[in-house]
């Protein structure tokens, strides 16, 4: 297998899908050597079977706004690979959603889920509908209409979606209720549910907590203590909020937070009281991060600016894909950043990743460092199947153990001759080998 040749074929087959091609390119380049150690993989054309989704489901979603006008959006579900378990992956509601972005996310999800060691395949879905500025009733009507179509393709042993950008507890609740109404079944069809109807403790916190657990493991490989380190965090949603919370618990000092309008920089650090304000602002009031700057009198930079020009020890991008480009990476390195841990999915461009690896700093891709969310979704599925509810400590302990295990596998497959740990290679090879072996065992 030659990665470049496979990528060129996929470009011709799927034109106009840059995010998908980017994700595939990054993975194939790192697994090429390991793949070619197994000639049986090539005989079964395993690489194209791994790159191309099992199915791409597209549908129209009609819903009625508060003025009585019928609105139309597109809905998607990409079921990428179920070799090791039912399809599993989030649903994203955002104006930027398209087939290319969801295919990249489903592809990444396949390997991320494999890394967790839990029996979950890879999928992703969503719509170009944005909940921002919509009333609760409008969001409910959209979720109901979206689930009316999606329900045909999912099930507790088939495909179990979760939340993602734009899909929190409110949206999951509405979709779960509609699925229950349509099927007359109370089953664990979605994860990220409310505590009252089958949700897992620690699920909202899991991606952010897992991100910091992995970051801490990386720092320990160089005998560095996270305590006292200043951290740049992007985003202000679920992942960013709980990344900040866990950083505070471990003694670090987060100094930034952002949304699509801009970012705030608080040199004194975002403490527990300020974090509580961010959670109220974003989760309840649906406000903008600029209001934090107005309340606490700190620096705010608008026009969609990102926080990567501020000085700190560590950066953890928790917003969206491709938010750190090559120039931003150079700025981070010039400012002395020693570690980058991805809370979001593919937030660093290939140029940024190369800059970090050339500088030999600690850098981990999201498929490993943000796997805590889907890992705890898997734990929620287990609790639903058992009709049991585990304590917060039990879930958190399992989450921490899973992240430690992912880190160990990344070190196993990613340590280079000079001792540098290439977490990108480690994560990709570890995730790939499990899926590949399962596919081989199951035939064509």
Q: What is the CATH number of the domain that holds 124?
A: 3.40.50.10860
**197 in a structural domain:** no
Residue 396 lies in a domain: no
CA 235 – CA 241 distance, rounded (Å): 8
CB within 8 A of 387, min separation 6: which ones?
none
Interior/surface letters 370-392, b for 16+ CB within 10 angstroms, e for the rest: bbbbbbbbbbbbbbbeeeeebee
| Alpha helix (H) residue ranges in 255-325 | 272-279, 290-296
Three-state DSSP at 147 gives helix
Does residue 177 lie within any of the structural domains? yes
Cβ partners under 8 Å of residue 340, min gap 6: 314, 315, 316, 317, 324, 332, 348, 356, 361, 362, 363, 364
Give domain status of residue 441, yes or no: no
For residue 402, the model assigns a pLDDT of 97
Assigned domain for 418 exists: no
Q: Strand 262-265 relative to strand 55-64: parallel, antiparallel, unpaired? A: unpaired
Which residues are documented as binding site for substrate? 88, 109, 112, 163, 377
Residue 280 and residue 325 share a domain: yes
Check residue 346 and give its pLDDT: 85
Q: Return the pLDDT at 205.
A: 94
pLDDT one-digit tens code per residue, 354-375: 999 999 999 999 999 999 999 9
Kindly state whether residue 62 falls inside one of the protein's structural domains.
yes
Tell whether 31 and 91 lie within a shared domain: yes
Q: Residue 233 domain-assigned? A: yes
Segments of the chain with pLDDT less than 70: none
Task: Give the pTM.
Answer: 0.88
Domain that holds residue 306: 206-364
User: Is residue 404 a contact partner of residue 410, using CB atoms and an 8 Å limit?
Assistant: no
Q: Are residues 136 and 257 in the same domain?
A: no
Domain at 348, CATH number:
3.40.50.720
At 78 the pLDDT is 98
CA distance 379 to 213: 17
**Domain shared by 86 and 136, yes or no:** yes
CA distances from 374 to 110, 114, 172, 223, 280 (A): 11, 10, 15, 29, 25
Same domain, 284 and 165: no
Residues 115 and 66 in one domain: yes
For residue 413, which of 424, 403, 399 has the smallest C-alpha distance? 424
Q: Which of 364, 384, 400 is the last residue of a domain?
A: 364
How do residues 421-442 score in pLDDT, each as one tens digit?
999 999 999 999 999 999 999 9
pLDDT score for 165: 87
Q: Kindly list the catalytic residues.
A: 124
One domain for residues 177 and 257: no
Query: Can you give the pLDDT at residue 321?
Result: 85
Last-in-domain residue among 364, 396, 413: 364
Pair 173, 241 in one domain: no
User: 153 and 253, same structural domain?
Assistant: no
* Alpha-carbon distance values, 375 to 124, 261, 399 (Å): 15, 31, 7
Burial of 425 (0-12, 13-18, 19+ CB in 10 A): buried
Binding-site residue ranges: 88, 109, 112, 163, 207, 238, 377
Question: Which helix (H) or strand (E) segment is 102 a member of?
Answer: helix 99-115
What pLDDT, on a 0 to 100 scale, did the predictor assign at position 286? Answer: 87
Please indicate, yes or no, whether residues 170 and 291 belong to a single structural domain of this protein. Answer: no
Do both 15 and 110 map to the same domain?
yes
Boundary (domain end) residue, out of 364, 395, 413: 364
Which pLDDT does position 332 carry in this prediction?
A: 98
- Is residue 146 domain-shared with residue 234, that is, in the same domain? no
Domains: count for the chain = 2
Does any domain span residue 10?
A: yes
Starting at the edge strand that comes first in sequence, how are the strands of the sheet with 55-64 ordered? 55-64, 70-81, 122-127, 87-93, 159-163
């Amino acid at each position: 297998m030659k990665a470049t040749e496979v990528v060129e074929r996929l470009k011709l087959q799927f034109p106009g899908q840059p995010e998908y091609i980017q994700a595939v390119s990054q993975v194939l380049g790192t697994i090429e050597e390991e793949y070619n150690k197994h000639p049986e993989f090539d005989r079964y054309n395993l690489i194209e079977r791994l790159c191309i989704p099992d199915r791409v489901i597209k549908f129209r979603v009609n819903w009625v706004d508060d003025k009585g006008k019928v609105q139309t959006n597109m809905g998607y579900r990409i079921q990428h690979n179920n070799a090791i378990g039912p399809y599993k992956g989030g649903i994203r509601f955002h104006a930027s959603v398209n087939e290319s972005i969801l295919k990249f996310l489903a592809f990444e999800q396949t390997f991320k889920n494999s890394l967790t060691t839990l029996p979950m395949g890879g999928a992703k879905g969503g719509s170009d509908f944005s909940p921002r500025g919509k009333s609760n009733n409008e969001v409910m009507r959209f979720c109901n209409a979206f689930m009316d179509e999606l329900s045909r393709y999912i099930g507790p042993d088939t495909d179990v979606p979760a939340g993602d950008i734009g899909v929190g507890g409110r949206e999951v609740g509405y979709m779960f209720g509609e699925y229950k109404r349509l099927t007359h079944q109370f089953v664990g069809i979605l994860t990220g549910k409310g505590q009252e109807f089958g949700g897992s403790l620690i699920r909202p916190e899991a991606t952010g907590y897992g991100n910091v657990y992995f970051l801490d493991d990386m720092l320990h490989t160089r005998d560095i203590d996270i305590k006292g380190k200043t951290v740049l965090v992007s985003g202000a949603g679920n992942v960013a909020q709980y990344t900040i919370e866990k950083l505070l618990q471990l003694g670090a000092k987060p100094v930034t937070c952002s949304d699509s309008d801009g970012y705030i920089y608080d040199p004194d650090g975002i403490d527990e009281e300020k974090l509580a304000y961010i959670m109220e602002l974003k989760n309840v009031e649906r406000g903008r991060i600029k209001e934090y700057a107005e309340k606490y009198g700190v620096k705010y930079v608008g026009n969609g600016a990102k926080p990567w020009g501020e000085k700190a020890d560590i950066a953890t991008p928790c917003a969206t894909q491709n938010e750190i480009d090559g120039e931003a990476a150079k700025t981070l390195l010039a400012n002395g950043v020693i570690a980058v841990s991805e809370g979001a999915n593919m937030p660093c461009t290939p140029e940024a990743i190369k800059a970090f690896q050339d500088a030999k700093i600690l850098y981990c891709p999201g498929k490993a460092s943000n796997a805590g969310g889907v890992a705890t979704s898997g734990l929620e599925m287990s609790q639903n199947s058992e009709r049991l509810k585990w304590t917060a400590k039990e879930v958190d302990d399992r989450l921490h153990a899973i992240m430690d295990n992912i880190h160990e596998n990344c070190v196993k497959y990613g340590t280079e001759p000079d001792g540098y740990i290439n977490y990108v290679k480690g994560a990709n090879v570890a995730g790939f080998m499990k899926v590949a072996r399962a596919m081989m065992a199951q035939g064509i």
